[in-house]
Structure 1
């Protein structure tokens, strides 16, 4: 009986925790499009997490293959370093390298705050003080253009005091058809209440790639799901009678790693002297006392067999991830990067086979970029480009001006516009 009662109590607590997660749409009150903005184009900006540059061909994503032929396809899109989810999703909406917008990894330490940012910590994710730059929805709202987001890093917090007009707290419990229906409902709103920018995020391909690998039937099924949903989204825009521009991207690619013979934290790293957030494709080591950096670096260089060791001021320039780029000191003093198929595993628990976060020039790390709609040329294939250039493209299509400094340049993607 005691066990039964305890089980009921645990179940009740679990149900209360689920109820505490607000699954409903959040609406910022008192906003509407200015008369000028009601005349502007519409953009649906879609990210399929972990959708490698070759997945559409590899898994015959029929809708995406057809849609990109009616618009623009890049051979690949180069993610920013490190090629991880949080860093690159925030780069895509700010036009800034991770070292400059501040989300330098999925998990990292801020010595000024004395805190570790962890992607699984809702409190950190919703704390606006971690986020730099001006997200594209903030730019839109500042200029009296309404925006919406069905999941996107940064949309749950008020960056610069501003959220999208319509947004959702991230969770995996809202069915996909409900998410698609939300997009339709946004587009059916009266023009003064209708968002001109919609951010939409798919996690499924990344999840399948991590757990089953890039070449698995599960990843193929996840690609098909995303492809079907994109097809439905295009159909609904026709049903509501609106001409909409679509930009379909991913944050990074995926590769298979050796998840059996993993590396632990090198024993010569004294955790009394150094802070090391969890990681597998990138370890950042933060010294509590800077005098300990050089001795540890020299020792690690001697010991390193299956990983490379960098001082922050000696990182490859092309990564834009050096000491001079180091916003708020969030990049570690020493960086360890495993040599594939090797990866780090600091927890000692089983880890997944699919990984990313590696050198952003690796073929398997390359992301996808397709765009179609009235703003874009048709039947155009372009060379690979850096993902920092998507932000000025979105601003250009939406007719939004900005004068703050970014790393992207509209000149890179201007030729794809009509």
Structure 2
């Protein structure tokens, strides 16, 4: 028909139009303008995603999963697919996170292989479309303000993740976390596990009775698998509930058969490895009547049963992490498939026969290796290794591993020395000694809570609680004693701020060269080290006065190490090095040390040498805070300096410098409480005119009038010293043990006032207190009279003046902790100077007041004596380059002498052998003459005379044969 033909033509024309349209897009796709949107057959280019255009949100995800086909929840390096690996694949695919390392990820718990969960929880930082809200925050590099399109609707996290997750894993809910430090693991109050099992021939009452013994805090090492390899040695946990009951709305309830579903619920805050499955295995034995409920009590008695019986754990398939409880968690999007687990359990139930003959099998199939012909009671089973045995075995295993690692290191080191030596570039010091000098670190400040890093040093080193300062117990006099090993009267630094110079007849201050002139002329530990090690690197930090103490710190010779660094970096760390010698005095403030980047840069520059290194760091804390807030208010400062010590130790360990680095922490004198009401004015105690020198609590007082007035002034203070809180000394009466009165700057015709502990002198102490009150904003804190401040300078025998000493490294013993009452030898500040000499491997400096004998017991290798010292000096002398020609000549002479001696010995030995080959000796000829008279007697005498001569035995036999021949066949008839 024409109508049919017309219809076909129309259809053909429509198809042609479609082909033309499509063909035009293909051909003109490249020519089409952006407005036409021509695409053609070319592959659509993917648009680059910029995550910095979005803020992040800290959320809590609730996850449900069947773990039967997975190797547990947590990501594992060796095992196959896990729940967590699938979750992170989805998170990365949807670009909700950039990487796991930057996502602030925490899991509530890690379930084992085959274990499922209904409400597992994880906390994580996800990409968000919102600009503000609960848990929304900015981060470094965020450019969310530049995003063109903004919305008030949040990303549907559940929908977008579930579309990229396997069917067995689903995100069922999420909630925002207002606290950015919220952790799914540490903020979880309790975890609920449920274990599903058929009733069979179980007695639930017996199970609940046994479970009641598990409730509370116990040591559950017999109900778990010991994880000593990962450092778990504490097996005390708390269980809040153990209850077995029938499943809710169980369709089999009321059925006469033996198949009824039950559930065991266990609630606790935290659990051990395989703890739930071990508990279920034991409770099943109790429910079947194989064990009494009291077996739980026996297994919890660790003293009686330290080792776990070798029973099999229950199956992991019915175990479910049912819930994780948090405070006020309001889930914003809940898409739980309510019938998920129920349908699965019903499906299992429909596949299992309910005949009575399977009553026992239904339960025992959940515990491997339990279908034995004869039952063995739990307490009669073979025992696993106890925790102590496990620890011992693990330590032995670690030691064997360390030996193998050491062998591999030796082989690798040998390869490097033999093959790579010509191309080796040394960037690490041969030996390093880091001296950290704090201010006011009393021994009672060193506690595990406040100073964990110092306590870590003590575990691997030594700790002395009582370092007695030099008098006066002030900061800078003791720094001078530490650097020189001399008493105060010898180095002449009498105060911390200023000293009256008798020679100059004026007061000189700490920043002046004359203040340190005597210290400089004596010579410091830096000078001694430089004299022994000219090429070594010497670095100092935190002591601005070094330019007045050490000659090798001229400002004109100092240049920046990193000349290409920008101004901001150079202002943070002023690390400098001289043109000629390898040393680096540098200064870093406490605020800059708290900056981890600045500290890491300083340490990197400090250890960047291939020579020996001696670094000295001076900290003003915790003493500076103790002065302002009182000794009990310096806890924050103590933690600050301890954290800095921790960073230094961490850097040394990270760079593998522990075997060549000694770290020594000591302190200038401590501080004690001084109340404002206990501060007295010295000038107010006498009406006579006077001059006062020094600083609280030690004043030198002299009269400005005639000498008789000076005597009267002395008696004025002598009368009130008992009630005035101080003691008066004329120069000759100053105790010799203070090593103070022989100083040339102790003013003649003056007397000294020494305040009692807790008393201060107002003339210089009150201005300092006013400054500290304003700086630390203590003006409105309570009554001014009762405010407590810190003060030092008192009698060195007072306990609060004495400070702690901590050291670790190859030069010191390990784990030597001396408690205050057991420190038998009094160690003074000057004794640390010879200790530094020993650690730095330099010869003891003569004519110093310190003694190494008080510290010999802290050294791993005490200084050698006699022959060994001579050998060490000889080796050191031979290794010096300037002695190379003499060394070669001596070696040649020794070699020639040894060869000559060997030749002489060889010639003498050859001569002896030639003599031994002769057939006669004079003694033999003489004895032959005696044989004529009585041969037998002479033979006996001969043998008696020559019996002890080893070389003559062969000669005797020869002589005997000759004598017999002469007697039997005589040539002379007369003899016959």
Normalization by structure 1: what TM-score? 0.80
Q: CA separation in 2, counterparts of 1:88 and 1:183? A: 26
Paired residues for 1:317-396 under 5 Å: 317-322=736-741, 325-329=742-746, 333-347=750-764, 348-349=766-767, 351=769, 353-382=789-818, 383=823, 384-396=826-838
Q: Distance in 2 between matches of 1:321 and 1:208?
A: 29
Counterpart residue number, 1:282:
698
Cα root mean square deviation, aligned:
2.9
2:829 counterpart of 1:411:
no
1:109 corresponds to which of 489, 500, 505: 500
Larger radius of gyration between Structure 1 and Structure 2: 2
| Counterpart residue number, 2:664 | 247
Hey, what does 1:10 align to over in structure 2?
A: none
1:333, CA displacement in angstroms?
3.3
User: What count of residue pairs does the alignment treat as equivalent?
Assistant: 370
Name the CA distance, whole Å, in 1 between partners of 2:636 and 2:591.
19
2: CA distance, partners of 1:290 / 1:58: 59
Contact kept, 8 Å, 2:477 with 2:495, in 1: the verdict is yes
Contact 2:692 2:702 in 1 (8 A): yes
Judge conservation of contact 1:99–1:326 (CA < 8 Å) in 2. Answer: yes
The match for 2:327 is none
Cα separation, 1, equivalents of 2:745 and 2:600:
39
Counterpart in 1 of 2:414? Answer: none
Among residues 578, 595, 606, which one is paired with 1:186 in the alignment?
606
Alpha-carbon distance in structure 2 between the residues aligned to 1:135 and 1:331: 29
2-side partners of 1:289 and 1:152: how far apart? 40
Partner of 1:201: 618
Cα distance, 1:360 vs. partner? 0.6
Q: How does 1:8-407 map to 2 (within 5 A)?
A: 41-57=431-447, 60-106=450-496, 107-119=498-510, 122-124=511-513, 128=517, 131-143=520-532, 144=534, 145-152=536-543, 154-159=545-550, 161-163=551-553, 165-168=583-586, 174-177=592-595, 178-179=598-599, 181-187=601-607, 189-192=608-611, 196-216=613-633, 219-242=634-657, 243-267=660-684, 274-277=691-694, 279-285=695-701, 291=707, 293-304=710-721, 305=723, 306-322=725-741, 325-329=742-746, 333-347=750-764, 348-349=766-767, 351=769, 353-382=789-818, 383=823, 384-407=826-849
In structure 2, C-alpha distance between the alignment counterparts of 1:89 and 1:201, rounded to whole Å = 10
Which structure has more relative contact order (CA 8 Å, sep 6+)? It is: 1
Secondary structure of the corresponding residue to residue 260 of structure 1: helix
Unaligned runs of 5+ in 2: 1-427, 554-581, 773-788, 861-976
CA distance 1:45–1:125, change in 2 (3 Å): farther
Q: What is the rounded CA distance, in whole Å, between the counterparts of 1:271 and 1:130 in structure 2?
A: 36
8 Å CA contact 1:151–1:169 kept in 2: the answer is yes
* Separation in structure 2 between the aligned mates of residue 252 and residue 289 of structure 1, nearest angstrom: 37
Post-superposition CA distance 1:119-138 (Å, at most 9, x none): 4xx33588646645321112
Retained in 2: the 8 A contact 1:307–1:337?
Answer: yes
The 3 A distance-change label for structure 1 pair 334 and 131 is farther
8 Å contact from structure 1 (residues 71, 377) kept in 2: yes
Instruction: Name the structure with the higher helix share.
Output: 2
Contact 1:293 1:334 in 2 (8 A): no
Give, in angstroms, the shift of residue 203 of structure 1: 0.9
Counterpart-to-counterpart distance in 1, 2:687 and 2:586: 42
CA displacement 1:35-85 (0-9 Å, x = unmatched):
xxx986321000111111210128531111121121111131111111111
Judge conservation of contact 1:83–1:359 (CA < 8 Å) in 2: yes
Which residue in the other structure is 2:406 paired with?
A: none
- Displacement of 1:365 after TM fit? 0.9
1:271/1:136 CA distance change after superposition, 3 Å = farther
Distance in 2, matches of 1:180 and 1:330, equals 48
Q: Say if 1:42 and 1:197, in contact at 8 Å, map to a contact too.
A: yes
Report the alpha carbon displacement of residue 389 of structure 1 after superposing the two structures with TM.
Answer: 0.5
On the 8 A contact 1:284/1:333 being kept in 2, the answer is yes
Once residues 683 and 481 of structure 2 are traced to their aligned partners in structure 1, the CA distance between those partners, rounded to angstroms, is: 31
CA shift, 1:154, in A, is: 4.8
Q: 1:84 to 1:267 in 2, by over 3 A?
A: same
Output the CA distance in 1 between the equivalents of 2:848 and 2:592. 34
Secondary structure at 1:100 match in 2:
helix
Give the C-alpha shift of residue 272 in structure 1.
6.0
Contact between 2:493 and 2:516, CA under 8 Å: does it hold in 1? no
Q: How many Å separate the matches in 2 of 1:339 and 1:126?
A: 27
Q: 1:172 to 1:221 in 2, by over 3 A?
A: closer
Q: Which residue of 1 aligns with 2:196?
A: none
Distance 1:344 1:329, change over 3 A: closer
- Assess, with a 3 A threshold, how the Cα gap between structure 1 residues 268 and 342 changes in structure 2: closer, same or farther: closer
Kept after mapping to 2: 8 A contact 1:312/1:321: no
Q: What SS does the aligned partner of 1:399 have?
A: coil
CA separation of 1:289 and 1:375: change in aligned 2, threshold 3 A: farther
Mean CA deviation greater in 305-314 or 170-179: 170-179
Shift of 1:337: 1.5
Structure 1 CA distance for aligned equivalents of residues 528 and 706 of structure 2: 39
| Alpha carbons 1:254, 1:356 under 8 Å: kept | yes
**Change beyond 3 A, Cα 1:283–1:273:** closer
* Deviations 1:135-192, CA, capped at 9 Å, x for gaps: 1112112221331100237523244x334932146866744443553233110x2314
Distance 2:488 2:746 in 1: 12
Is the Cα–Cα contact under 8 Å of residues 125 and 154 in structure 1 kept in the other structure? no
| In structure 2, distance between residues paired with 1:125 and 1:68 | 39
Question: Conserved in 2, the CA contact under 8 Å of 1:156 and 1:167?
Answer: no
When residues 154 and 138 of structure 1 are mapped into structure 2, their CA distance, relative to the original with a 3 A threshold, is farther
8 A Cα contact 1:249 1:368, kept in partner: yes
Cα deviation for residue 208 of structure 1 reads 0.8
